[in-house]
Chains A and B, each alone.
Chain A
Amino acid sequence: KAGVTQTPRYLIKTRGQQVTLSCSPISGHRSVSWYQQTPGQGLQFLFEYFSETQRNKGNFPGRFSGRQFSNSRSEMNVSTLELGDSALYLCASSLDGLGYGYTFGSGTRLTVV
């Protein structure tokens, strides 16, 4: 079966702009989580969506937001981009988000200039 698909793979944006990243989970998976990966902070949890509802949230500013659609596809949005937002953004899908297994996508590499 198809894995987790993230688009686009690479993005270059300018400070102050906004960006939207997309994640299509494995068919049948209802939970989608997002992570930010940077060399300094490592892998940090952004938020998790299940059945179109945000169930859990990490410690990121309100500029980071997300949503999930009825087909479980998810988007995350970052507004007013800062240089420090440059990172690899990963999404992970699972059946229920309770630990039975998380499958990650290949990520979107965002560079803010």
Chain B
Amino acid sequence: AQSVTQLDSQVPVFEEAPVELRCNYSSSVSVYLFWYVQYPNQGLQLLLKYLSGSTLVKGINGFEAEFNKSQTSFHLRKPSVHISDTAEYFCAVSAYSGNTGKLIFGQGTTLQVKP
């Protein structure tokens, strides 16, 4: 079974400052890793994903994440945030095989960007 822990429920940050949203996961099998963003009253939009290869993954809107297998972490970073980045961010995993179609999500981190 897999589980995902997002270490911060809320992260307040000033505009143009850097931000890191933390995600740790637990799994007995190899997993794919994802970050999604959700704006109010909308669905989930994929920011980036790690399937294999380079552990540094670049996504949309200037976000990037680094897969650390030894620490079972997949933290999301952005060097300079904008007001428009205010949203809920979800880390998720899915198993390489079996458990088809199933994403396990963390509880989410609310990013609040202040002017």
Looking at the complex, which of B17-25, B76-84, B103-111 is the stretch in contact with chain A? B103-111
Q: Which chain A positions have C-beta within 8 A of B100? A: 31, 48, 50, 55-56, 96-98
What 0/1 readout, one digit per residue, does chain B (25-68) give for beta carbons within 8 Å of chain A?
A: 00000001010100001111110010100000000000000000
In the assembly, what is the distance between CA of A48 and CA of B21, in Å?
A: 29
Given contacts A43-B105, A100-B32, A104-B46, 13 further A-B contacts (CB under 8 A): A31-B100, A45-B103, A48-B100, A48-B102, A56-B99, A56-B100, A56-B101, A56-B102, A98-B97, A99-B94, A101-B46, A101-B49, A102-B103
| Residue ranges of A at the interface with B (Cβ–Cβ < 8 Å) | 4, 6, 31-33, 35, 42-43, 45, 47-50, 55-56, 58, 90, 92, 94, 96-107, 109
